[in-house]
Amino acid sequence: MSRTRIPILALAAALTLVLSGTAYGQFTFGGDGSDGPLVVSSYTVLPVPADGIFNFTTIDVQDNQFLSFQRNDLNTPIYLLATGDVTIAGTIRVNGSSGNTFSGGAGGPGGYDGGAPGFVGGIAPGAGHGPGGGLPEDVDGSAGYGGHAYKGSGLNDGQAYGSSALVPLVGGSGSGGRVGSGGGGGGGAILIASNTRIDVTGEIEANGAGGASYGSGGAIRLVAPTVSGNGYLETSGGYRGWIRVDTIDRQMSFGYNGNLSVGNYMVAFPPNEPRLDILEAAGQSIPEGTGQRVSIDLPFGSPTQQTVTVQGRNLTGLVAIEIVLVNSSGDPVVYPAQLDFTAGDPAQTTVTVDLEANNRTDIFAWKR
């Protein structure tokens, strides 16, 4: 594995946001500190709260120690917020899991699952989940994210998606399964924000996992007035994920494996962030904003034609979207649709789709 280092010179010049030498006290995106300090002095697995948000005062991941997470029910990204300093001398992991003979690998927190394996005797493998999910295949169906995944023939590899600014914050996609092996889960998504500084001399990993093929790398975003250290940031997989560092005082020379960008967008949670919500699927109502995973088990004999209603917010004009059905076996089915914001915000559309009986279907909606 090659490791590229990027020397970034520290900024010593006075900045307009620094008033009278104060320690950036005006920044308040690091949460409220209600969870107290986090000290990782041994291997630690934190269960993720329902909204994915941790509110620490300080974070200290000590040398040679590991911090990982147990996904919540909605599989949200991880938001590590700190009112004070964040020090990462050990390793933080939000990696995907490998596929196996019986199932696709789970995506890391905020990432997508790998496709189900196929079985000799007529059960086809399934596609990977996510906007860049790989197709089921006998050769390679790796997942895309920061770019198109180029593996094997490339015909079944996932497509590029996402933003270099990591707005919105989204993880990596799963790879397709094959007969005898599930696809690898995509890397998760993690944001670490501090009101003061983030120092990384260890590693942060959001890697896609293997299996029939590789899930794509996930997403790492750091936001703090000062970001320092010579650690390593990694979002590898079927295709590399995104790495974003937003800071004013750049005192870092990180090694990295991923698509890196550096800026000064000093906001942890962007206001009026564009979003899509599935509000109804096959007669099942879904409250807006829950982020609930939409899975349909259509019993044999049920009408196969069903409707899906999607709502969008904080977009403009005519917006092309895709409603995607991912079955436990076979290729995904894509229904192009359009949201019309010229008449107002939010906007909705309802699309008639064909579901398979006795084949679990996950339904997604996204705009590339």
Residue type, 338: Q
Share of the chain above pLDDT 90, in %: 67
Largest CA distance in the chain: 73
Measured between alpha carbons, how far is 143 from 45 in angstroms, rounded to an integer?
Answer: 27
Look at phi and psi of residue 258 and say left if phi exceeds 0, alpha if psi is from -120 to 50, else beta: left
Burial (0-12, 13-18, 19+ Cβ within 10 Å), 120: exposed
Residues 221-237 have a mean pLDDT of: 97
Banded pLDDT at 106 (limits 50, 70, 90): very high
Domain with CATH 2.60.40 in the chain: 275-366
Banded pLDDT at 335 (limits 50, 70, 90): very high
- For the cut 70, the answer to whether the pLDDT of residue 138 exceeds it is no
Residues 224-251 have a mean pLDDT of: 96
Please name the CATH architecture into which domain 275-366 falls.
Sandwich (2.60)
What are the angstrom distances between the C-alpha of 93 and each of 13, 162, 219?
Answer: 35, 21, 11
pLDDT of residue 4: 35
Banded pLDDT at 117 (limits 50, 70, 90): very high
Banded pLDDT at 112 (limits 50, 70, 90): very high
Closest to 146 in 3D by CA, of 77, 220, 216, 215 = 216
Q: Specify the higher pLDDT residue, 337 or 143.
A: 337
What are the angstrom distances between the C-alpha of 111 and each of 4, 57, 93?
Answer: 25, 27, 13
Q: Which of 34-38, 129-133, 297-301 has the lowest mean pLDDT?
A: 297-301
Q: Which of 141-155, 315-329, 334-348 has the lowest mean pLDDT?
A: 141-155
Beta bridge partners of 44: 67
Banded pLDDT at 5 (limits 50, 70, 90): very low
Q: Which of 23-32, 95-104, 235-244 has the lowest mean pLDDT?
A: 23-32
pLDDT of residue 368: 66
Q: Specify the higher pLDDT residue, 221 or 28.
A: 221
- For the cut 60, the answer to whether the pLDDT of residue 148 exceeds it is no
What are the angstrom distances between the C-alpha of 124 and each of 97, 116, 235?
Answer: 21, 9, 30
For 73, the token pair is: 């029910």
Banded pLDDT at 18 (limits 50, 70, 90): very low
- Determine contact, residues 229/212, Cβ cutoff 8 Å: no
Helices and strands: H and E segment counts in the chain: 0, 27
What are the angstrom distances between the C-alpha of 235 and each of 94, 196, 276?
Answer: 10, 25, 25
Residues 219-248 have a mean pLDDT of: 96
pLDDT of residue 158: 65
- For the cut 90, the answer to whether the pLDDT of residue 68 exceeds it is yes
Quote the mean pLDDT of the chain. 87
Q: Where are the beta strands (DSSP E) in 85-213?
A: 86-88, 91-93, 189-194, 197-200, 203-205
Banded pLDDT at 349 (limits 50, 70, 90): very high
Handedness of CA 261, 264, 265, 269 (dihedral sign): positive
Banded pLDDT at 115 (limits 50, 70, 90): very high
Residues 145-154 have a mean pLDDT of: 52
Residues 183-209 have a mean pLDDT of: 97
Banded pLDDT at 11 (limits 50, 70, 90): very low
For 64, the token pair is: 């040679």
- For the cut 60, the answer to whether the pLDDT of residue 91 exceeds it is yes
Closest to 213 in 3D by CA, of 261, 154, 161, 287 = 154
- For the cut 90, the answer to whether the pLDDT of residue 32 exceeds it is yes
279-313 per-position pLDDT tens digit = 999 988 988 887 767 888 888 888 889 999 999 99
pLDDT of residue 9: 30
Measured between alpha carbons, how far is 20 from 349 in angstroms, rounded to an integer?
Answer: 53
